[in-house]
Structures are given as structure tokens and as C-alpha cells.
Amino acid sequence: MVDFVQNCFDGVMLGSSYALLAIGFTLIFGVMRRLNLSYGPSIMLGAFVGTLVFLEFRAGGLAVAAATVLGAVLVGIYVERLCFWAIRQGAAVASMVSSFAIWMQLEEIVTIAFPDRTYPFPPLTRAQPMDFGPFFFKVENLVMFGCAVALTLGLHLLLYRTRFGLRLRAVAESPDAARYMGINIAAVTFLAFACASAIGGVAGYLIVAQDGQITPLFGLWATFKGLIAMMLGGMGSIPGAILGGLLLGIVEAQSIWYLGTEFRDLCAYALLFLFLVFRPGGLFGHALAERERLALRRV
């Protein structure tokens, strides 16, 4: 039982990083109703910018974190301009396909610029694990969890306590109605993309710093984990993205302990498969469908 509870704690810590990845996907999907497949590779390229700063200047953790987030935001803006802004409304598939092409492009850039298989990345902390009764916690996991909670709270405040958040929610509900309210939809979309990229940059930094190394395959990994967590929670729902990420983390932590590391991804895909068969809308799919129905209804 202690092992099970310990795994749940570990899973929540791991899942908090998945939740951040899923929130980024969700923010873009919620506002634009389009899937950005190059979200993971954007974060990966950002993390390689951090790696470059670390290797070239022997920079500390904060400078590397800032470089990673800045890199992810700049690449995110590049993707937005090319795949989403340039391809306007009514062409969701074109945007998705072109974001897949950009994914390939970003991976190629990194593979050419960083030809080795892996590169070192400064660790989040070198502190020893802490004991709480029968349970122990890695400090880097606690830092990651704390950052994820702080970012989620910050995002909540942004969405529900600021004018920008109100505009963003309005555009997410109905871009047509938002246009009549004097909202600059292109600006809102651009800023939503930048926010999502920044959140992804933080998630990328936390994950890579915990591993202590980075590979060009990180983009593929981040895309898969973020997408799975988003689909488990329900496409377009931020609470769903958080819960989906945590659920994925817990299932992975349990599978690593009880079945072995090699079953980690297999269990994640099996979980997704079960959801697609029995609850295709995800955890918050029904609530989201109801919101969509209300948004489309003319009262």
C-alpha cells in the first residue's frame, strides 16, 4: 500500500509536467480550434537554446531557464505566423498539416546544429531527497510540482481577472461575436500562442532539467505526452488538461513500479485507447460539449 501511495505521489509530480504541456496545447486549441503539432518541437528547440547557453557560457539554472522559455516563445511565434496567422479561418486541416511540416523542419534544424545523440542540461537542483514518514520526495519533483501549481494559478488569474483573459475567453467561445465587440482577434490569438509557448517552455525546462540531458527526440515525446494528456482530459478544457496530465503521470508511475520501465509508454497508450473507446470526449468532454452547445445556441 505504501508503494502504491508513493507511486501516486510520484505520478502527481510527473503528471504536473504533462499537465503543463497539455495546457499549452489546450490554450491554442481552445482559442483557434486548431491543433498545433509542432508545439512539442518548438519546446524542444527552446530547450536546445537553453543547452547552447549552458554549454557556451556555463550559465546558471535561471539563465538557462530564461533562454529556454524565450527560445520556445520565439519559435512558437514563428509557427503561429507561418501556420496559423497566414492560414486564416476555415482551414484547420491546412494549419495542422503545415504545423506537421514545421515539426520536421525544426527537428532537422536541431539535428544539424546538434549532431550528437544527447547533450547535457543543468540539473534543477542537487539537493538530497526528503523523507516524510514512509514516503520520500525528490526535491526536483517538488520544484516541478510547485512551478506547475504556480503557473496554473497564474493562468487562472490571467483568464479570469484580466481584460486580456476575458477577451481570450470570448474569442474562444465565438470569434464572430467577438469581432462585433471591438476585439482585435489577431492580437488575442497571437498573445494566446505566445502564452502557450511560454508555458511549454517552462514545462520543457523542468522536464529536461530533471533528466539532466536532452535529445532531438524530446519534441516528439513532448507532443505525444501533451496530446495524450489533453485527450484524456477533453480537448479544449484547461481543468481537463490538468486532470488528464495528472492521471497520465499516476498511470505511468504505477506501471514503472509494478511492470517495469519498458511498460511505461505502453500503459500510457493503453489508457488513451480505453478512453477513446469508452469515453472519447475525455474526462471533461461532456461539460465541454455542453459549453459548445450553449455557445452555438442563439438565446
Binding site for other proteins (CB under 8 A): 163, 166-167, 169-170, 173-174, 176-177, 179-185, 291, 294-295, 297-299
Task: Identify which of residues 188 and 208 has a Cβ nearer to other proteins in the complex.
Answer: 188
Task: Identify which of residues 58 and 163 has a Cβ nearer to other proteins in the complex.
Answer: 163
**145: which residues sit within 8 A by CB, 6+ positions away?**
12, 13, 16
How many Å from the N-terminal Cα to the C-terminal Cα in the chain?
Answer: 52
Give the strand pairing for 213-214 and 119-120.
antiparallel
Least spacing, CB of residue 41 vs other proteins, in Å: 32
Rounded Cα–Cα distance for residues 194 and 103 (Å): 17
Least spacing, CB of residue 276 vs other proteins, in Å: 26
Least spacing, CB of residue 280 vs other proteins, in Å: 22
Rounded Cα–Cα distance for residues 269 and 228 (Å): 8
Residue 130 sits at φ, ψ, to 5 deg, of: -110, 145
Task: Identify which of residues 167 and 225 has a Cβ nearer to other proteins in the complex.
Answer: 167
Least spacing, CB of residue 182 vs other proteins, in Å: 3
Task: Identify which of residues 33 and 264 has a Cβ nearer to other proteins in the complex.
Answer: 33
Q: 19, 229 in Cβ contact below 8 A?
A: yes
Least spacing, CB of residue 295 vs other proteins, in Å: 5
Number of Cβ atoms within 10 Å of the Cβ of 40: 28
Task: Identify which of residues 81 and 179 has a Cβ nearer to other proteins in the complex.
Answer: 179
Task: Identify which of residues 126 and 298 has a Cβ nearer to other proteins in the complex.
Answer: 298
Which stretches of 98-144 are assigned E, i.e. beta strand? Answer: 119-120, 130-132, 135-137
Least spacing, CB of residue 299 vs other proteins, in Å: 4
Please tell me whether residue 218 adopts helix, strand or coil conformation.
helix
